[in-house]
């Protein structure tokens, strides 16, 4: 197979759920071997690609085997898989529809005993156990999660051809991190997502680490077909060395890797996570890249910590990049500006004549400053982005039609016992507002989420409230040092008007009043709680699995002369039902 065909075959993606043409598939074990127990166990299986999927039995913690997939004898990808010899915890799948009619080989290498699990792999027109898809016990109902396998960072957030695209770090074959692919989902409203197949699989340059996506208006890269503006993905290939690469598409479905990858050579061994955007004033593309350098000192443990830097690059065509500025982050365990940087402009309190640039990175800490096209100059640094646990690697969308700055972060909230793991946090609009303490980012869940409210406000009948997925809104005007207590399906949220702090299941965060008001929004899903206070200046996402039988919401104020409290309580619909 030509390398171009190989790239396109594996780069292609197909929507699941199209009419399946039911053809007889045959799968035969070849190269069978005998284990010492005398049970036949294959080290290689051959399939004719007449079905849509290969379903793979997975047992979490089983020995990892390298599984290589060959199409017509040429290797197209490989992965490290915890194949279940018996008793699968769950089933992963490979979409083989793009190779229809070709001959496929799955080869198992690794631990010397051949895996009986290879024999259990089945070709099918459906994903195994798909009848319970999106209805699993711990499937988040408000938050995106992958159908199967592990997910971490959101990647390539962009609006293109009428759809929002969410790519994500995906391990299609494991419940834990590994085998990094780019998964892919699309949405028309940022609320309901349709997961498509993976678009980038590991290749000879390495695993597919995080990055971003741009709409190349005017086809500056020349990667689009004549007259088309391509969607260009910019990602890290995590090999030896780690380098930055491009892939592109004219339809937002099928992606090809760029022939001349990499487009940016290795700078230092840890470099990764290219975030690219168009800078209209200088008419250039800007890349912010996470780079690590030796700090040139040793710590108390005798090791040499690394300095975390954000390096900037500019380009006229996405293919050739010139170095520009550098911004210093933390050193070693100080994770300021560590991994997944993002840089964007926001108006101050909505005034487009006054703007600032925000530089943020994986843990959400941020700096506010200026950027004229070369380097970022901070005015204030190290502002706290969230007070929760599990917010990581957030990225903002490019090209949102109405100009809002919308961010999605990875929610490090596990789904134990499920066939998938982790989720993406609620899409939030970011604003820069003036506060008594100076300029601050405020984060509010996007207004589109209101479409999930299932019926009217039920705050007047909390005694009979019985909701699973819940939104609570409260607007308090404290008079003194009241304690406002909320119990939302067992999650305990207390606003202390005396200390201006909010405590969520034991996590305390500052929550100042805004013009005398404390506005709080709480969202409870099956594996987490997201709390927004002080009009979004305070944000606290927390892993939390409510007890299934507790469907109650309760609100109490402990002072008889407490200030007014306006409450709204909604039961929410699932994002998985249209």
What minimum distance in Å lies between the beta carbon of 563 and ligand FRU? Answer: 42
On whether the CB atoms of residues 55 and 151 are closer than 8 A, the answer is no
Q: Judged by CB under 6 A, which of 169, 419, 424, 574 binds ligand FRU?
A: 169
Q: Which is nearer to ligand FRU, 153 or 250 (CB)?
A: 153
The DSSP secondary-structure symbol of 116 reads T
Q: Which of 482, 481, 539, 471 is nearest to 510 (CA)?
A: 539
Beta strands in 240-296 (DSSP E): 242-249, 256-257, 272-279, 284-294
What minimum distance in Å lies between the beta carbon of 331 and ligand FRU? Answer: 17
What minimum distance in Å lies between the beta carbon of 392 and ligand FRU? Answer: 6
Furthest CA-CA distance within the chain: 81
Torsion sign, CA atoms 147, 150, 156, 157: positive
- Alpha helices, DSSP H, located in 372-513: none
On the 0-12 / 13-18 / 19+ scale of CB atoms within 10 A, 496 is middle
Taking CB under 6 A as the rule, does residue 311 contact ligand FRU? no
Taking CB under 6 A as the rule, does residue 119 contact ligand FRU? no
What's CA 106's distance to the chain center, in Å?
29
Q: Judged by CB under 6 A, which of 120, 191, 362, 569 binds ligand FRU?
A: 362
What's CA 277's distance to the chain center, in Å?
19
Pairing of strands 420-421, 149-160: parallel
Q: Which is nearer to ligand FRU, 264 or 393 (CB)?
A: 393
Taking CB under 6 A as the rule, does residue 308 contact ligand FRU? no
Taking CB under 6 A as the rule, does residue 340 contact ligand FRU? yes
What does the alpha-carbon distance between residue 214 and residue 19 come to, in Å, rounded to a whole number?
32
What minimum distance in Å lies between the beta carbon of 338 and ligand FRU? Answer: 8
What does the alpha-carbon distance between residue 391 and residue 410 come to, in Å, rounded to a whole number?
6
Beta strands in 188-315 (DSSP E): 194-200, 207-215, 231-238, 242-249, 256-257, 272-279, 284-294, 306-315
Q: Which is nearer to ligand FRU, 235 or 570 (CB)?
A: 235
Pairing of strands 207-215, 420-421: unpaired
Contacts of ligand FRU in 173-202 (CB under 6 A) = 180
Q: Which strand (E) or helix (H) includes residue 48? A: strand 40-48
What minimum distance in Å lies between the beta carbon of 320 and ligand FRU? Answer: 23
What does the alpha-carbon distance between residue 176 and residue 540 come to, in Å, rounded to a whole number?
25
Taking CB under 6 A as the rule, does residue 209 contact ligand FRU? yes
Taking CB under 6 A as the rule, does residue 105 contact ligand FRU? no
Q: Judged by CB under 6 A, which of 291, 368, 393, 575 binds ligand FRU?
A: 393
What minimum distance in Å lies between the beta carbon of 81 and ligand FRU? Answer: 17
Provide the token pair at 88: 């699968």
Provide the token pair at 460: 């007047």
Q: Which is nearer to ligand FRU, 206 or 467 (CB)?
A: 206
Q: Which is nearer to ligand FRU, 288 or 502 (CB)?
A: 288
Residue 423's contacts (CB-CB under 8 Å, 6 or more residues apart) are 140, 143, 144, 145, 151, 410, 411, 413, 415, 527, 528
What minimum distance in Å lies between the beta carbon of 153 and ligand FRU? Answer: 5
Q: Judged by CB under 6 A, which of 272, 284, 311, 319 binds ligand FRU?
A: 272
User: Which residues on neighbouring strands pair with residue 260, listed in sequence order?
Assistant: none
Q: Which is nearer to ligand FRU, 199 or 474 (CB)?
A: 199
In sequence order, what DSSP letters do the residues of 515-556 get, joined into one string? Answer: TTBEEEEEEE-SSEEEEEEGGGTEEEEEE----TT---EEEE
Residue with tokens 């938050």: 143
Pairing of strands 40-48, 53-58: unpaired
Catalytic entry in 85, 153, 250, 535: 153
Taking CB under 6 A as the rule, does residue 291 contact ligand FRU? no
Q: Which is nearer to ligand FRU, 74 or 176 (CB)?
A: 176
Q: Judged by CB under 6 A, which of 97, 236, 415, 422 binds ligand FRU?
A: 236
Taking CB under 6 A as the rule, does residue 273 contact ligand FRU? yes
3-state DSSP assignment of residue 396: strand
* Count, residues near ligand FRU per rule CB under 6 A: 14
The DSSP secondary-structure symbol of 426 reads P
Q: Judged by CB under 6 A, which of 198, 229, 292, 339 binds ligand FRU?
A: 339
3-state DSSP assignment of residue 308: strand
Is the preceding omega at residue 190 within 30 degrees of 0, hence cis?
A: no
What minimum distance in Å lies between the beta carbon of 364 and ligand FRU? Answer: 12
Q: Judged by CB under 6 A, which of 50, 82, 95, 153 binds ligand FRU?
A: 153
Q: Which is nearer to ligand FRU, 362 or 540 (CB)?
A: 362
What minimum distance in Å lies between the beta carbon of 150 and ligand FRU? Answer: 9
Q: Judged by CB under 6 A, which of 141, 210, 249, 534 binds ligand FRU?
A: 210
Q: Which is nearer to ligand FRU, 394 or 476 (CB)?
A: 394
* Residue count (the chain): 578
For residues 490 to 529, the per-residue mask of contacts with ligand FRU, x marking binding by CB under 6 A and - elsewhere, is ----------------------------------------
Beta strands in 280-390 (DSSP E): 284-294, 306-315, 322-331, 342-348, 351-360, 366-371, 376-383
**Residue 299 annotated to the active site:** no
Taking CB under 6 A as the rule, does residue 399 contact ligand FRU? no
Q: Which is nearer to ligand FRU, 272 or 519 (CB)?
A: 272
What minimum distance in Å lies between the beta carbon of 304 and ligand FRU? Answer: 20
Per CB under 6 A, residues contacting ligand FRU are: 152-153, 169, 180, 209-210, 236, 272-273, 339-340, 362, 392-393
Active-site positions? 153
């Amino acid at each position: 197979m030509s390398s171009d065909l190989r790239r396109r075959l594996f780069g292609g993606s197909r929507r699941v759920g199209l009419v399946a043409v039911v053809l007889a598939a045959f799968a035969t074990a070849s190269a069978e071997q005998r284990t010492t127990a005398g049970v036949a166990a294959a080290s290689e299986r051959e399939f004719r690609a007449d079905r849509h999927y290969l379903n793979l039995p997975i047992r979490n913690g089983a020995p990892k085997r390298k599984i290589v997939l060959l199409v017509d004898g040429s290797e197209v990808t490989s992965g490290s898989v915890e194949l279940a010899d018996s008793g699968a915890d769950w089933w992963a799948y490979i979409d083989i529809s793009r190779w229809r009619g070709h001959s496929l080989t799955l080869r198992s290498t690794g631990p010397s005993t051949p895996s009986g699990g290879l024999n259990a792999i089945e070709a099918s027109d459906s994903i195994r156990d798909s009848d319970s898809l999106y209805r699993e016990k711990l499937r988040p109902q408000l938050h995106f999660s992958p159908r199967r396998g592990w997910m971490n960072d959101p990647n390539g957030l962009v609006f293109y051809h009428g759809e929002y695209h969410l790519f994500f770090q995906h391990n299609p074959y494991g419940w834990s991190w590994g085998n990094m692919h780019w998964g892919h989902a699309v949405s028309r409203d940022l609320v309901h997502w349709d997961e498509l197949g993976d678009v980038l699989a590991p290749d000879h340059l390495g695993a597919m680490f995080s990055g971003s996506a741009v709409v190349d208006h005017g086809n500056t890269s020349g990667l689009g077909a004549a007259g088309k503006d391509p969607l260009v993905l910019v990602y890290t290939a995590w090999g030896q060395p780690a380098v930055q690469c491009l892939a592109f598409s004219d339809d937002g479905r099928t992606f090809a890797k760029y022939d001349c990858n990499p487009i940016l050579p290795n700078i230092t061994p840890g470099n990764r996570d290219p975030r690219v955007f168009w800078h209209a004033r200088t008419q250039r593309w800007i890349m912010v890249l996470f780079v690590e350098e030796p700090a040139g000192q040793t710590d108390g443990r005798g090791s040499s910590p690394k300095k975390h830097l954000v390096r900037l690059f500019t380009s006229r065509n996405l293919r050739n990049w010139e170095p520009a500025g550098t911004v210093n982050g933390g050193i070693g365990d100080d994770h300021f500006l560590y991994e997944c940087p993002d840089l964007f402009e926001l108006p101050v309190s909505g005034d487009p004549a006054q703007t600032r640039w925000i530089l943020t990175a994986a843990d959400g800490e941020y700096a506010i400053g200026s950027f004229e096209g070369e380097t970022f100059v901070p005015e204030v640094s190290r502002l706290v982005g969230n007070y929760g646990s599990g917010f990581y690697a957030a990225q903002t969308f490019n090209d949102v039609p109405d100009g809002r700055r919308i961010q999605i972060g990875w929610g490090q909230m596990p789904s134990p016992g499920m066939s998938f793991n982790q989720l993406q946090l609620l899409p939030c609009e970011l604003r820069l507002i003036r506060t008594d303490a100076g300029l601050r980012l405020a984060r509010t869940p996007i207004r589109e989420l209101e479409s999930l409210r299932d019926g009217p406000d039920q705050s007047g009948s909390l005694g009979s409230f019985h909701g699973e997925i819940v939104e609570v809104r409260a607007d308090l005007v404290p008079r003194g040092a009241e304690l406002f207590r909320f119990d939302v399906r067992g999650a305990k949220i207390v606003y202390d008007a005396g200390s201006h702090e909010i405590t969520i299941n034991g996590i305390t965060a500052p929550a100042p009043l805004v013009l005398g008001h404390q506005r709080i929004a709480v969202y409870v899903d099956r594996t987490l709680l997201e709390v927004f206070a002080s009009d979004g200046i305070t944000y606290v996402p927390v892993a939390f699995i409510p007890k299934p039988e507790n469907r109650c919401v309760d609100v109490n104020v402990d002072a008889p002369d407490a200030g007014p409290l306006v409450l709204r309580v909604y039961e929410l619909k699932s994002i998985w039902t249209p």
